[in-house]
A = this chain, B = another copy of it.
Amino acid sequence: MKSIKISEAVVKRLPIYLRFLNELAMKNVLTVSSQDLGQKLNLNPAQIRKDLAYFGEFGKKGIGYDVNYLIEKIRQILKLDRQLPVALVGAGNLGRALCNYNIYLRDQMKIVAIFDVSADKINQTINNMNVQPMEHLAETIRAMKIRIGIITVPAAEAQNVANEFVKAGIEAILNFAPSILKVPPEIRVHHADFTAELQSLAYYLADDSEAQEEH
Contact B80 A15 (CB under 8 A): no
Contact A199 B96 (CB under 8 A): no
Contact B198 A148 (CB under 8 A): yes
Does A195 make an interface contact (CB < 8 A)?
yes
Counting chain A residues whose Cβ lies within 8 A of the other chain, the interface size class is 35 or more
Contact A205 B171 (CB under 8 A): yes
Does A14 make an interface contact (CB < 8 A)?
yes
Contact A203 B79 (CB under 8 A): yes
**Proximity string of chain A (96-115) to chain B, C-beta cutoff 8 Å, 1 when within and 0 when not:** 11101100110001000000
Contact B202 A148 (CB under 8 A): yes
With the chains together, A141 CA to B41 CA distance in Å? Answer: 29
With the chains together, A172 CA to B105 CA distance in Å? Answer: 27
20 contacts between A and B (CB under 8 A): A15-B196, A18-B199, A40-B180, A42-B180, A79-B205, A80-B202, A81-B210, A81-B212, A82-B208, A82-B210, A84-B205, A98-B194, A104-B178, A171-B204, A171-B205, A171-B206, A172-B202, A174-B194, A188-B201, A188-B204
